[in-house]
Amino acid sequence: MIIGVPKEVKPQEFRIALTPHGAAELIKSGHQVLVERNGGTGAGFTDSEYESVGAQVVASAAEIWATSEIIVKVKEPQPSEYPLMRKEQLLFTYLHLAASRECTDALLKSGISSIAYETVTVAGQLPLLAPMSEVAGRLAPQVGAYALQKASGGSGILLGGVPGVRPAKVLVLGGGVAGTEAARIAHGMGAHVQIVDRNINRLKELSIMFSGNVETIYSTSAVIEELALEADLIIGAVLIRGDKAPKLISNSLVSRMKPGTVLVDIAIDQGGCFEGSKPTTHADPTYKVHETLFYCVANMPGAVPRTSTLALTNATLPYLLQLANKGLVGALSNSEPLQAGLTTHGGALYCPEVGHALNLPVRDIHELIG
């Protein structure tokens, strides 16, 4: 099987989908790996490192897309990549299609098969989304603390305070992987942290995890409103598998928040959980909504590409090996996690959550695998 790894083209996206060690494992299993020239440079991996394990470095993305049977990426295809997609190929990457009808239509039109990292599911968990959720969650208090500085447009509050001065109040919406890591880092930085969720059992786990030092509160609209009006930093970390994120913070509520409040929307890849959220970039990450500051970078883990690339390859490589060794139908037939990740094939949509979000018809995977 020929596996192609193009350089990411999304703005300020420095990750690459496969490390040299990952490429070595695929080659050891009898596969050919093509890597675009300088594709790993942003994450600290040189072309010579890929070549030293037997990968072939090629000059252009067009050559990789034209030659490869499996395309492995980090982010969803960008408009410049749409014409390169082919029906005979499999695309393995983050897709987040519920937030993009344009990308969904391009995938369906091309006929390409695609499996979304973020919907591969094992016992209710999302093992390929988890590492980037961990990274984004841990980054959120860091970027929030910077945005709180007066020169950045924030209220001028130090997240951890100092002796004699109260720390910032941090509200985390969602107790999943990203929310838990956000709470962990914010607490470690000395902030007063509150985390809300609708899963009582999860709140119990979080209370034990943080030894009662982080407030765990059952989430309702009234609770969110009350806590948001007191917060200095709000981190949105809610997730509905494959579907659009729910809007938990309205612009009306934002208009009543303290001037300089910072809102970090980790859920922006899935449309965002604040009404006023819109995707931003690392080069221009924030914008004002009323008297608050929104941070909505759609590829937060791209800010730490070395860590993110290593963590991503650790998670995706076993599944990529299954796909390369058995082919699409063979791998799907033997893997319920990959079945859950199948998104498009032959011009049809197979992900119910994306179908719900975009009002599109969905095929049953058993029509494909029997």
Residues identified as active-site? 96, 269
> In whole angstroms, how far apart are CA 129 and each of 156, 316, 317?
33, 10, 13
> Which amino acid is located at 203 in the chain?
L
149, burial (CB in 10 Å: exposed 0-12, middle 13-18, buried 19+): middle
Q: 């599911």: which residue's tokens?
A: 121
> In whole angstroms, how far apart are CA 101 and each of 13, 43, 249, 258, 366?
21, 30, 23, 35, 25
Phi and psi at 344, nearest 5°, equal -135, 155
Closest CA to 303 of 195, 142, 174, 154: 142
Closest CA to 22 of 312, 331, 341: 312
Question: Checking DSSP bridges between strand 348-349 and strand 342-345, what pairing results, if any?
Answer: antiparallel
* Sequence-separated contacts (24+) of 143-147 with Cβ below 8 Å: 143/264, 143/285, 143/295, 143/297, 143/300, 144/170, 144/186, 144/233, 144/235, 144/262, 144/264, 144/295, 145/189, 145/233, 147/262, 147/264, 147/286, 147/293, 147/295
Question: Checking DSSP bridges between strand 262-265 and strand 113-116, what pairing results, if any?
Answer: unpaired
Q: How many CB atoms lie within 10 A of CB 60?
A: 12
DSSP 3-state percent helix, strand, coil across the chain (nearest 5): 45, 20, 40
> In whole angstroms, how far apart are CA 295 and each of 74, 136, 143, 145?
21, 12, 8, 11
Strand, coil or helix: what is 150? helix
